[in-house]
A and B are shown apart, each in its own frame.
Chain A
Amino acid sequence: MKGEKTLVALAGQPNSGKSTVFNALTGASQYVANYPGVTVEKKTGSYKYDGGKVEVVDLPGTYSLTSYSLEERVTRDFLLHEGPSVVVDVIDASNIKRNLYLTFQLLEMEIPIILDLNMMDVADRRDIRIDTDKLGKKLGVSVVPTTIKKGKGKKELVMSIAYLSGGGQAFQPSRIDYGTMEPFLREIKDKLSEEKPISEGYPLRWAAIKLMEGDSEALKLIGKKRSNPEEFLEFVENERRRFESEQNEAPEHHIAFSRQRTADTIVRACVKPKTKNERPLSDRVDGFICNKFLGPIFLVAVIYVLYYLSIVQGYNLTSYTWPLLAKIRSLTESIMPEPGFIYEPLIRSFSLWFVDSINALLNYIPIFFILFGLIAILEDIGYMPRMAFILDRIFSKFGLHGQSTLPMVLGGIYVGGCAVPAVMSTKGIPDERSRLATILTIPMLNCLAKVPLYVLLINIYYAQHKVLAMFFISTISLLIVLTVAKLLTLTVLKDKETAPFILEMPPYHLPTIRGVIGRAVERVWLFIRKIITIVAAIAVIIFALLQFPGISDDRNAYYNGEKEKAVGIFYKKIEGASYADRLQGENLMALVLYWDKYKKAKMMAKGKEAVKALNNKFEEENPVFFKIVQPKKDKAAKKVNKAFKKLFKERRKLLREIKKEKIDNSFLGRIGRYLEPATQWAGFNWRVNVALLSAFAAKESSVATLGALYQQEEEGETLETRMEKGESGFTPLHALALMLFMVLYPPCIATTIMVKIQTGSIKWMLFSMFYPMVLGIFAAILVFTGGSALGLSGLEVMFVFYSLALAITVMMGFVKSRPETI
């Protein structure tokens, strides 16, 4: 096979260790993409053997090969149309019987198959003895026993693949005897071979079985190839009906049951069942993990640890990674043109804004990495299905699914999650309706970025009741999510496909380090690749909206005048001092930059040594300026120092005023003012509007923009006091309306992109942005206008609103949604 390329596909049921086999075969050379047009992941890798390249495709894990689920359709289409030279069917050696159900379907597709009896160690441990030779003969395929996790059997597997793809055929594949259905299958086959095109591309017997099964996709595919599709499909339908009336059994039932019974017969002949009749360890563990009382406690503990390690510890980790990002920023700062006394060059402010926007997201990467790693561990261990098992009852009442648990936890079921990984993790939910309901509602949970605004408002307006207010805001979002999910299920999602819950509870496994880290890296990379680029683009737009049209010439002249005044005062003050002549003209601006740089560097420097080194460096750079910065006992320098401090402060004040005026005057500011007549009913003035608008790119921006809008009057004033002063008319009721709006705020850009990726539709993406806005403004108006009309205080309204939400949520739980299609 020198120089040739071989295509090998890995198929198998979920939990058969297929990914481990894939990793073992392909090593690090993996590539993840999507199958065309769908959200199912396609993993490809390769290895070299005997000078040739073997390409391996890891097909999605499926129990069967019908057209009911996307994964099954994708798998089947791949096998039919891509023509792999070998399919490795990975099966769990301790559970052969149920795995054979899929094997039979693969055999019917007439592709060369190798049966990889994986996890032999588990079978051994459970004392299950397998006669592999006999199994191979009965099935007519080569069987390779492996314990891939420990590297056992890999060589044999690779050799077996090479042999089979080289044209060798071990046995004649066996076929299932469908008994009373055989005459029917023959008739369809005969009919199929009447016209030539059908026999090209599809194995005849497979096609006949699929048609008898009534598989909708197969009917479409094969019918299309006939010269007279209607007549042919009617013929098939007649055959199906005739079988059902003669045998008193639906043909698809007969087919499935024949497969199961044949699997049972084969397993009885080849596998000596365990002699020890004890409960498997996993089941005994589940006695605790899924216990009525311990189960929920353990679940809460797991969620807590997940939060603690990723959000709390991950956040601590960012204090180590942040300096790296800060370096990128200061590097950008240093290569950009230097700022003037009161003007910043556009390219400079743009570059810094851009870097800041990207950094805000990159800063989350340590958190994501830990989060994704922990989730991979939970997935590998097998805890996810248990989580779904415990919570399905609650979630299904609200149109969600047991498997919505993980996305909810990630989104911040209490406080501090992130909607991006949360939406990403909805992929596993089989029920389309619940999946969409989950995707559309989790952005309303409290992500990390919403927290700063809550903290700010609670500190100002609920200082007496901090704990209570924090509890309100953290739990109200869950109530809202449940209610809204139910409402969506009853309305816009009413006609979406549902799926049965039925879920395998796989045995617990120890995760492998490689698998866990591999998946964490893969998902972080996906985040970076898909999200960052778009966030960058949006950052540009928001920048333009905040920056333009800028300040009028009149105002520019005014600020220039202010500057001249301040500079004039400075020169007057230092007149006669020995340094005065060295600070003329451009030197003044140089000193401003020097001073700024020194102050910033000193803030970063830790310890006496570092400060000393810093001082030496700056003294060397410019001894005169250094004297002014650090006058010590030099009287003249002291005088200049004092005057310069004043000037420096004056400059800062001017810069802030200009920034504020720029925002006031900007397009975004105009929009904020334009919206004021409507938003005033919710208690939002235009300043709040601007903050909220700017939060659309990333929620953190809300506080940053407020920071720019409420100016610092005195050095070191906190934003809390500034906002309190700046908004004297603001009451706790205003704050409550604002916080509720933030809960319901449309997802950030990054999340909407993820919504687009996971729903595969722009329509849903737009919907996910639009409906929370309507809902949010409605809730805010209800709280503010309603509360003001009734003359209630913020705290009182909080109680009323919470009780109302709780009552509605409970009520919603009892409303029946459209019954599942059976």
Chain B
Amino acid sequence: MTLDKLRPGNACIVKRLTAIDKLGRRLMDMGFYPSLSLKVIRNAPLEDPMEVEMDGFFLSLRHEEARFVEVEQK
């Protein structure tokens, strides 16, 4: 499943990044990598973007971008 499908409160482990180029680069630079565990914290008031936590670090990204992160729900 992909990260954008998760709801606030769900936790997961990253399996794979399917984006290349700019988005892939940015996801990697911002700390996404396989085996990383993260948690969806909240959605924005208008549902998009979403906010996730990874090791005490908080990040917001659009659902459209989260689609390229394959995860396994915990």
Contacts and interface: CB of A to CB of B under 8 A. Distances in A.
Interface in A267-307: 280, 282-283, 286-287, 290-293, 295-296
A98 B57 contact: yes
Chain B interface SS verdict (over half): mixed
A509 interface: no
Contacts, number: 132
Given A283-B53, A392-B49, A501 B29 contact: no
Given A252-B25, A253-B17, A291 B45 contact: yes
Interface centre among A68, A97, A393, A506 (most CB of B within 10 A): A393
Contacts of B51: 286, 290, 389, 505
B48 A260 contact: no
A502 B60 contact: yes
Given A260-B31, A500-B23, A95 B45 contact: no
Contacts of B59: 502-505
Interface in B18-67: 19-31, 33-36, 41-42, 44-49, 51, 53-62, 64-65
Contact of A64 (B21, B29, B46): B29
A126 B17 CA distance: 31
A347 interface: no
Contact of A389 (B24, B36, B44, B64): B44
B19 A280 contact: no
Contact of A63 (B17, B23, B30, B33): B30
Interface centre among B34, B46, B60 (most CB of A within 10 A): B60
Contacts of B49: 389, 392-393, 402, 501, 503
Contact of A257 (B21, B34, B48): B34
A822 B68 contact: yes
Contacts of A296: 45
A505 B25 contact: no
A500 B45 contact: no
B60 A389 contact: yes
Given A390-B45, A500-B61, A504-B59, A68 B26 contact: yes
A97 B30 CA distance: 11
B25 A393 contact: no
Given A261-B33, A821-B21, A385 B46 contact: no
Interface residues of A, number: 49
Contacts of A253: 17, 24, 28
A66 interface: yes
A291 B14 CA distance: 26
Given A252-B25, A502-B27, A820-B23, A280 B56 contact: yes
A603 B49 CA distance: 58
A482 to B, nearest CB: 15
B35 to A, nearest CB: 8
B11 to A, nearest CB: 13
Contact of B25 (A68, A101, A292): A68
A66 B25 contact: yes
B22 A499 contact: yes
A385 B60 contact: yes
Contacts of A807: none
B13 to A, nearest CB: 13
Interface string A482-523: 000000000000000001111111110000000000000000
Nearest to B62: A501
Interface string A803-820: 000000000000000001
Given A63-B29, A393-B49, A502-B61, A822 B56 contact: no
Given A295-B45, A500-B23, A95 B29 contact: no
A671 B41 CA distance: 61
Interface string A368-411: 00000000000000000100111011101000001000000000
Contacts of B21: 821-822
B16 to A, nearest CB: 9
A250 B20 contact: yes
B26 to A, nearest CB: 5
Sort chain B's interface into a size bin: 35 or more
Interface centre among B36, B47, B58 (most CB of A within 10 A): B58
A502 B53 contact: no
B52 to A, nearest CB: 9
Contact of B29 (A256, A287, A293, A389): A256
Contacts of A390: 44-46
A822 B19 contact: yes
B24 to A, nearest CB: 7
B57 A500 contact: no
Contact of B41 (A66, A283, A394, A502): A283
A471 B36 CA distance: 51
Contact of B33 (A260, A293, A393, A503): A260
A501 B65 contact: yes
A64 B58 CA distance: 17
A159 to B, nearest CB: 31
Contacts of B47: 393
A94 interface: yes
A499 B23 CA distance: 7
Given A64-B29, A252-B25, A393 B44 contact: yes
Contact of A504 (B24, B30, B33, B56): B30
A68 B41 CA distance: 28
Nearest to A63: B29
Interface string A415-427: 0000000000000
Interface in A158-176: none
A499 B26 contact: yes
B28 A257 contact: yes
A817 to B, nearest CB: 12
B42 A290 contact: yes
B45 A501 contact: no
A290 B45 contact: yes
Given A260-B33, A499-B26, A290 B44 contact: yes
Given A256-B33, A290-B44, A504 B57 contact: yes
A392 B33 contact: no
A293 B45 CA distance: 7
Interface in A696-719: none
Contact of A505 (B22, B36, B46, B60): B60
A500 B44 contact: no
Nearest to A819: B64
Given A252-B28, A253-B24, 20 more contacts: A63-B29, A66-B25, A66-B29, A68-B22, A101-B31, A295-B44, A385-B60, A402-B49, A500-B27, A502-B26, A502-B62, A502-B65, A503-B60, A504-B57, A504-B59, A505-B58, A507-B58, A821-B23, A822-B21, A822-B68
Query: Top 10 nearest A-B pairs by Cβ distance?
Result: A256-B28, A393-B46, A64-B29, A505-B58, A260-B33, A257-B33, A502-B61, A63-B29, A393-B48, A500-B26
Interface of B: 17, 19-31, 33-36, 41-42, 44-49, 51, 53-62, 64-65, 68
27 contacts: A63-B29, A95-B56, A126-B56, A250-B20, A252-B28, A253-B28, A257-B28, A260-B28, A260-B31, A260-B33, A283-B53, A283-B58, A286-B42, A286-B51, A290-B42, A290-B51, A292-B45, A388-B60, A393-B48, A499-B26, A500-B22, A500-B62, A503-B49, A503-B59, A504-B30, A504-B59, A822-B19
